[in-house]
DNA sequence: CTGAAAGCGCTTACAG
DNA sequence: CTGAAAGCGCTTACAG
């Protein structure tokens, strides 16, 4: 065994070494590697054998330089740090994207751009063409970063529609509006009439659409839209707790709460317990996402399943289309209600 | 404004464009870019101006091809999927690594290798020199992947000592043993004498060392080591619940539990509640990690703080050393006890 | 079906 | 201090 000197990487075989082994020109090796042009079966076989013998793997940088494709995709997170890691949603999406990219031999580059400095560095990097495209997580509509990326012509697919960029930025989203509607109709079917909601941020499609679905359900069943029963959050548990506190003082008669995320629902649960309200006895609670959280709260959450693994998969598929030059597109994936103890079936 | 045709990236300026603008040779541009050799102040200035004017950023692939350095680091996760995303620990480490790498202008490539197919693909990729080094998360001692990576001469830094590779693989770890000891001594000081423990996997340093710390504390205070009070888990909440169940039937008289992770402690809490044992009244519970979970359980967890942000930072620093050819090293960072309601101060 | 050759955009000795 | 030139390891028209 050859001793390994740390810091002195072994000389790796190149395409020329393979060519010599196989007894062909290195252009031919490149052809069988890329499988585009015709190569005689005999040549293919001897090249494959030579590759196996030498342990050759292509140098991705040389390839990128020659093709102009980087072979990598950025997974870009722009939320302030504290929001990112509390909720398992982010991890599920990341996991799904890693999988889908790996299946296509693409590399996932993780970029976290929370601070202003990180953000401008990210824009420079992404606009610099270092990456074939970007997967954008939880975009806020007013974010200047969006405009910069769009201006630079960077292929983008967002998770959730990007308000104001519906025609320019491709996106994959849950059917937020009808998912929210079905959640609230479940509460109505259980006899609730004074249903409050904790919404997401108003500059995100998920925030707007889930509120809309809540209103749809009330309207469809002839229930009044009472603004004192609507409170905004930022998806986080803390914001859910704060919103619940406010709702409790402003609309103490409420008999149900629909929270636009499981994390906010978990915060609401805590506040309800502290206020001595039994869930689901006094107040029913429904969340959104069916994230890892939902099954572990006390009581476990009835929630709307947001299939983020599926979303991640579609995002990657769509991004490869966008990179190939196809026009922007929005994809909506269906949701479904998951019933647990925080609001059992009527 | 030039209309952007999707899929037709703008022609980006190269080093030659900058050289022409600045009126120097492109070798000089490269010199000011890399700041190694001497360049006249006048040349530096005009090059800088030309860079600003043209909006030039270096093509990383061309650079990598010329230097033999990829400028990227893999963050490699090898745990089965279900363990990865339940616990916020993983996210904190990832966040910290992303930050530290970004500060050094290194790119973080995320690789998730849960299945056998993913694992062999990862080994091929990493051994292929596509990456300057790898950050290894939660390594198991028997894992064949370790031997393959070491054999290939890939620079590695692990989170936690790698049993069996202490001399070969650099690592950054919490002071697990003394952290665990202080947790158990806190319980002893509170008057507990029948202290059980839920350990991590026996093939991981964190599993072994935290158990050792538990034993150290008991021995130091003349308490017996009762094997019926020791049960293994895999770090997950579910495994913690299962272990607690077993402990409750095997050692029903226990008056405290030290769990080697917050997630397992959370699982234990649930089982204790279901069994009608009050925490901390009947049974005190202490976890390990001070992850995001700890403050949100019911009651909140007393736990040992595992400074993963710091660990991530040291891992990256150490990895750059290893890449530079320095010999392997193990770093230990201190822990501290965080007291909450699951075991208040005596 | 296959070679010879140019070129992708950098870095880095080598001469001045 | 600075140019001209070779070379990093590939891909891809261009000729056969």
**Model confidence at A230: pLDDT above 50:** yes
CA-based torsion, A73, A78, A84, A88: positive or negative:
negative
How many C-beta atoms surround the C-beta of residue A291 within 10 A? 26
Tens-digit pLDDT profile for residues B227-281: 999 999 999 999 999 999 999 999 999 999 999 999 999 999 999 999 999 999 9
Q: Which residue has the tokens 């596509």?
A: B130
Nearest CA in chain B to A1: B151
Nearest CA in chain A to B10: A153
Minimal Cβ distance to B108: which of A8, A110, A323: A110
Chain C footprint bases within 7 A of protein beta carbons: 1-5, 7-13
**Model confidence at B341: pLDDT above 50:** yes
Q: At CB < 8 A and 24+ separation, what contacts does A147-151 make?
A: A148/A123, A149/A123, A150/B4, A151/B4
Q: How far is the CA of B66 from the C1' of D7 (A)?
A: 8
Of 3.30.200.20, 3.40.50.2300, 3.20.20.70, 3.20.20.20, which CATH number belongs to A176-306? 3.40.50.2300
Euclidean distance between CA atoms B271 and A244, whole angstroms: 28
**Is nucleic acid strand C under 7 Å from A70's C-beta?**
no
Fold (topology level) of B15-58: 434 Repressor (Amino-terminal Domain) (1.10.260)
Q: Tell me the CA distances in angstroms from B112 to A88, A94, B75, B78, B172, one per residue in order.
A: 16, 10, 8, 6, 20
**Model confidence at A83: pLDDT above 70:** no
Q: Which residue has the tokens 């201006």?
A: A151
Q: What mean pLDDT comes out for the span A120-129?
A: 85
DSSP assignment string, B113-150:
--SHHHHHHHHHHHHTT-SSEEEEES--TT-HHHHHHH
Looking at residue B8, its pLDDT comes to 42
Q: Please state the CATH superfamily assignment of the domain spanning residues B72-174+308-332 in this structure.
A: Response regulator (3.40.50.2300)
Query: What letter would DSSP give residue A260?
Result: S
Decide if A64 touches B, using CB distance below 8 A.
Answer: yes
Number of residues assigned to chain A = 346
Whether residue B64 contacts residue A130, with contact meaning beta carbons closer than 8 Å, is answered with no
Q: Report which residue is nearest nucleotide D1 when distances run from CA to C1'.
A: B39
Residues 4-33 of chain B with CB under 8 A from chain A are: 4, 6-10, 12
- Name the maximum alpha-carbon separation found in chain B: 84
Whether residue A159 contacts residue A138, with contact meaning beta carbons closer than 8 Å, is answered with yes
Which helix (H) or strand (E) segment is B274 a member of? helix B262-274
A3 pLDDT band (50/70/90 cuts)?
Answer: very low
- Find which nucleotide's C1' atom is closest to B39's CA: D1
Decide if B117 touches A, using CB distance below 8 A.
Answer: no
Tens-digit pLDDT profile for residues A194-215: 999 999 999 999 999 999 999 9
Does the reported pTM lie above 0.85? yes
**Model confidence at A6: pLDDT above 70:** no
Outline where A55-142 has alpha helix (H). Answer: 60-67, 81-84, 88-103, 116-127
CB closer than 7 A to strand D: which residues? A 12, 14-16, 26-27, 30-31, 33-34, 36, 56, 58-59, 62-63, 65-67; B 24-28, 31, 37-40, 42-43, 62, 65-66, 68
Decide if B156 touches A, using CB distance below 8 A.
Answer: no
3-state DSSP call for residue B110? strand
Q: Tell me the CA distances in angstroms from A67 to A34, A60, A124, B64, one per residue in order.
A: 12, 10, 22, 15
Looking at residue B25, its pLDDT comes to 83
Q: How far is the CA of B316 from the C1' of D1 (A)?
A: 36
Q: Return the higher-pLDDT residue of A78 and B193.
A: B193
Tens-digit pLDDT profile for residues A233-264: 999 999 999 999 999 999 999 999 999 999 99
The minimum CA-CA distance between B169 and chain A, rounded to whole Å, is: 11
Looking at residue B56, its pLDDT comes to 86
- CB–CB of A118 and B102 under 8 A? yes
* Percent of all residues in chain B with a pLDDT value above 90, rounded to a whole number: 61
Looking at residue A85, its pLDDT comes to 67
B292 pLDDT band (50/70/90 cuts)?
Answer: confident
How many C-beta atoms surround the C-beta of residue A344 within 10 A? 12
Residues whose CB is less than 8 angstroms from the CB of residue B332 and which lie 6 or more positions away in sequence, other chains included: B172, B173, B174, B175
- CB–CB of B6 and A326 under 8 A? yes
Decide if B71 touches A, using CB distance below 8 A.
Answer: no
B82 pLDDT band (50/70/90 cuts)?
Answer: low
Looking at residue A57, its pLDDT comes to 85
Looking at residue B211, its pLDDT comes to 98
* Percent of all residues in chain B with a pLDDT value above 70, rounded to a whole number: 94
Looking at residue A47, its pLDDT comes to 85
Euclidean distance between CA atoms B120 and B145, whole angstroms: 8
Nearest CA in chain A to B72: A109
**Model confidence at A7: pLDDT above 70:** no
Provide the number of CB pairs (under 8 Å) joining chain A to chain B.
138
Euclidean distance between CA atoms A239 and A225, whole angstroms: 22
**Is nucleic acid strand C under 7 Å from A67's C-beta?**
no
Q: Which residue has the tokens 């504390």?
A: B217
Minimal Cβ distance to B109: which of A108, A118, A130: A108
Q: How far is the CA of A37 from the C1' of C7 (A)?
A: 20
CATH number of A72-174+308-334: 3.40.50.2300
Minimal Cβ distance to A153: which of B10, B64, B95: B10
Most confident among A22-26, B62-66, B243-247, B291-295 (mean pLDDT) = B243-247
Tens-digit pLDDT profile for residues B91-145: 889 989 999 998 898 999 999 888 888 888 888 889 887 899 999 998 888 889 9
**Structure tokens, A111:** 């970029």
Q: How far is the CA of A16 from the C1' of C14 (A)?
A: 27
**B72-174+308-332 matches B176-307 in fold:** yes
Looking at residue B172, its pLDDT comes to 97
Tens-digit pLDDT profile for residues B172-218: 999 999 999 999 999 999 999 999 999 999 999 999 999 999 999 99
Euclidean distance between CA atoms A191 and B268, whole angstroms: 36
Strand partners, A257: A196, A285
Decide if B312 touches A, using CB distance below 8 A.
Answer: no
Residue-averaged pLDDT of chain B: 90
Residues whose CB is less than 8 angstroms from the CB of residue B29 and which lie 6 or more positions away in sequence, other chains included: B15, B18, B19, B22, B47, B50
Looking at residue B85, its pLDDT comes to 67
Question: At B242, phi and psi to the nearest 5?
Answer: -65, -45
Q: Strand C: which of residues 227-256 in chain B lie with Cβ below 7 A?
A: none
Q: Which of B110, B40, B47 is nearest to A106 (CA)?
A: B110
Q: What mean pLDDT comes out for the span B76-81?
A: 80
Decide if B258 touches A, using CB distance below 8 A.
Answer: no
Looking at residue A81, its pLDDT comes to 62
Tens-digit pLDDT profile for residues A99-124: 999 889 899 999 988 888 888 888 88
Domain ranges of chain B: 15-58, 72-174+308-332, 176-307
How many C-beta atoms surround the C-beta of residue B224 within 10 A? 9
**Is nucleic acid strand C under 7 Å from B62's C-beta?**
yes
Decide if A204 touches B, using CB distance below 8 A.
Answer: no
Nearest CA in chain B to A60: B130
Instruction: Tell me the CATH class for B176-307.
Output: alpha beta
Looking at residue A82, its pLDDT comes to 61
Most confident among A23-37, A202-216, B1-15, B50-64 (mean pLDDT) = A202-216
Strand partners, A137: A77
Residue-averaged pLDDT of chain A: 90
Residues 90-109 of chain A with CB under 8 A from chain B are: 90-92, 94-95, 98-99, 102, 107-109
Q: Return the higher-pLDDT residue of B66 and B228.
A: B228
The minimum CA-CA distance between A240 and chain B, rounded to whole Å, is: 13
Q: Which of B179, B212, B201 is nearest to B302 (CA)?
A: B179
**Is nucleic acid strand C under 7 Å from B220's C-beta?**
no
DSSP assignment string, A282-318:
T-EEEEEE--GGGGTSSSPPEEEE--HHHHHHHHHHH
| CA B92 to mean position of chain CA atoms | 8
Looking at residue B81, its pLDDT comes to 62
Q: How far is the CA of A46 from the C1' of D16 (A)?
A: 23
């Amino acid at each position: 065994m050859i001793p390994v000197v740390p810091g002195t990487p072994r000389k790796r075989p190149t395409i020329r070494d393979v060519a010599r082994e196989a007894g062909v020109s290195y252009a031919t090796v490149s052809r069988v590697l890329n499988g585009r042009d015709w190569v005689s079966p005999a040549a293919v076989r001897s090249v494959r054998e030579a590759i196996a013998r030498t342990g050759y793997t292509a140098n991705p940088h040389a390839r990128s330089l020659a093709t102009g494709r980087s072979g990598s995709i950025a997974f870009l997170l722009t939320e302030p740090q504290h929001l990112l890691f509390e909720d398992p949603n982010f991890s599920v999406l990341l996991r799904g994207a890693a999988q889908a990219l790996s299946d296509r031999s693409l590399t996932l580059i993780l970029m976290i751009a929370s601070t202003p400095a990180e953000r401008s560095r990210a824009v420079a990097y992404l606009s610099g063409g270092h990456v074939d495209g970007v997967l954008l997580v939880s975009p806020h509509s007013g974010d200047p970063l969006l405009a910069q990326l769009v201006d630079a012509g960077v292929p983008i697919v967002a998770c959730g529609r990007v308000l104001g960029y519906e025609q320019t930025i491709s996106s994959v989203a849950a059917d937020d509006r009808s998912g929210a509607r079905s959640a609230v109709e479940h509460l109505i079917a259980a006899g609730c009439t004074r249903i409050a909601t904790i919404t997401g941020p108003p500059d995100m499609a998920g925030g707007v659409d889930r509120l809309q679905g809540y209103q749809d359900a009330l309207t469809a069943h002839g229930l009044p839209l009472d603004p004192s029963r609507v409170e905004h959050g930022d998806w986080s548990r803390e914001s859910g707790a704060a919103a619940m506190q406010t709702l409790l003082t402003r609309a103490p008669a409420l008999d149900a709460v629909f929270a636009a995320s499981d994390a906010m629902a978990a915060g609401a649960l805590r506040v309800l317990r502290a206020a001595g309200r039994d869930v689901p006895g006094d107040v029913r609670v429904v969340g959104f996402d069916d994230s890892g959280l939902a099954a572990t709260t006390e009581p476990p959450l009835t929630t709307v399943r947001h299939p983020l693994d599926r979303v991640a998969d579609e995002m990657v598929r769509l991004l490869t289309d966008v990179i190939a030059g196809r026009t922007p597109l929005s994809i909506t994936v269906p949701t479904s209600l998951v019933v647990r103890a925080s609001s059992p079936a009527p």
